[in-house]
Amino acid sequence: MKPGSEEAIHRAIVAYLRTVAPGLIVHHSPNGEIRDKRTAAKLKAMGVYPGWPDLTIITPIGRVVFLEIKRTGGKLSPSQVTFRDECLSRGIPFACVESVDQAREALTMWGVQTREAA
């Protein structure tokens, strides 16, 4: 795993969340992994949603927030833009982040309690 890669940033954000907010439910949806056509078709039929963000987070009070993780300078795909816009139009918090600091800022903006904020 290369430093600065999307995977390295992703792992650092998950480790941060588990450390400062163990009461959160944090789930990674592996939608973007490379698959053969047969597996991709099966998963689509089972409800895989295009553009679903990297992390779905459920707070202790049942609020859902989303984090899409990108390497520095990474861009959202068209299906990710569509998903983001759908979330924001429904009042569902969504942020595209490139670092632990940006994830921290998003949580603070949304009022998600962490040990740091306490």
Compute the distance between CA of residue 101 and CA of residue 39 in angstroms, rounded to an integer: 36
The better pLDDT of the pair 68, 45 is held by 68
pLDDT digits (tens, 9 = 90+) for 52-104: 999 999 999 999 999 999 999 999 999 999 999 999 999 999 999 999 999 99
Could you report the per-residue pLDDT of 10-40, keeping only the tens digit for each?
999 999 999 999 999 999 987 766 778 888 7
Q: What is the pLDDT of residue 36?
A: 83
Which domains are delineated in the chain?
6-110 (3.40.1350.10)
Using CB atoms within 10 Å of the CB of residue 55, give its burial: 0 to 12 exposed, 13 to 18 middle, 19+ buried: buried
